[in-house]
Amino acid sequence: MTEQTTPDDITATVLASFGRSPDERLGTVMRSLTAHLHAFVKDVALTEEEWRAAIGVLTATGHITTGKRQEWILWSDALGVSMLVDALANRAPASGAGDGGGPAGAATESTVQGPFYVPGAPRRGYGERIDEMPAGEPLWVHGTIRSLDGRPLPGAELDVWQNGDNELYAVQDPEAPETHLRGRFTAREDGSYGFITVRPTPYPIPHDGPVGRMLSATGRHPWRPAHIHVIVRAPGHRPVTTHVFDRDSEHIDSDAVFAVKPSLLRELVARSADDPERPPGITGAWWSLTSDFVLVPVGPAG
């Protein structure tokens, strides 16, 4: 009598089907995907009804995705996969030795880029503002860009983007100029940079689609704590894509995309209109935020 085919037989057959992949890496990835996916289906004893529901969710994800709405990345973000891929690609090196004339510091940690980055932000000068229409309370952001050994990095580029107090990035806001709340700054001879912006506010990730339905069905919220996005680049160094977070922001302990790292938290300091450090270009009460960035050299000289 022929033995019955078991669930494990099915898994073994599918695994074997990838045994001759001409692309070795692809074969490895597909076998691992099969092994974990089959294990998941067995672990939860997936029902036929749940399988049909899952196909419906994937179909809806494809249908809602456009050039401006990327629901697949939202799934990756909301399931922590974006952070995991970033963490594997950017493992932190040891701290610098401090022999470059400046203070030693740990390399700035990376975090997700998110869906709102648009390349080609306008170049702006030291101390200039990035808000091009009313968008919130004035905020002075400044600091120094250094190499891992403490040496300042004149000419390093700081590419910044953020949302305003309407919770929107310029790319989402039909009322905003496309260069609003975006800018590229060049570090001065001593590695310093500075710009005027507005205090960022928490905002929800798009939650009117399949990801939003998953969040509400599982008792999660779509909010991200207030942050400013930056990419820091300098010749001879690995660029870092990261955020600075308002450490006192609502949702700082429950970011919907898991992007908060303790080393990225910064204090926003309340300043009065008559504060002697008030930068030209700000009137009235303001906030300040100090954030240094430390880049890792690439190549054998590092």
* DSSP-derived secondary structure letter, 175: T
Phi, psi of 24 (to 5 degrees): -60, -45
Distance CA 65, CA 52 (A): 20
Cβ(38)–Cβ(14) below 8 Å: yes
> 144 or 163, CB closer to Fe ion?
163
Nearest distance in Å: CB 218, Fe ion? 22
> Which CB sits closer to Fe ion, 114 or 150?
114
Least gap, CB of 229 to Fe ion (angstroms):
6
Minimum distance, C-beta of residue 219 to Fe ion, in the bound complex (Å): 23
Q: CB-wise, 114 or 210, nearer to Fe ion?
A: 114
CA distances from 96 to 152, 153, 195, 222, 296 (A): 13, 14, 27, 37, 9
Q: Which is nearer to Fe ion, 168 or 294 (CB)?
A: 168
- For Fe ion, the binding residues (CB under 5 A) are 114
Choice between 182 and 237, CB closer to Fe ion: 182
For residue 51, give the 3-state DSSP assignment.
helix
Measured between alpha carbons, how far is 151 from 101 in angstroms, rounded to an integer?
A: 6
Q: How far is the CB of 52 from Fe ion (least distance, A)?
A: 35
d(CA 239, CA 295): 7
Decide whether 147 or 242 has the Cβ nearer to Fe ion: 242
Smallest separation (angstroms) from Fe ion to the CB of 95: 28
Nearest residue to the partner Fe ion, using Cβ: 114
Minimum separation from the CB atom of position 161 to Fe ion (A) = 8
CB atoms within 10 A of CB 107: 23
CB-based contact 168:181 (threshold 8 Å):
no
What token pair was written down for 171? Answer: 């790319």
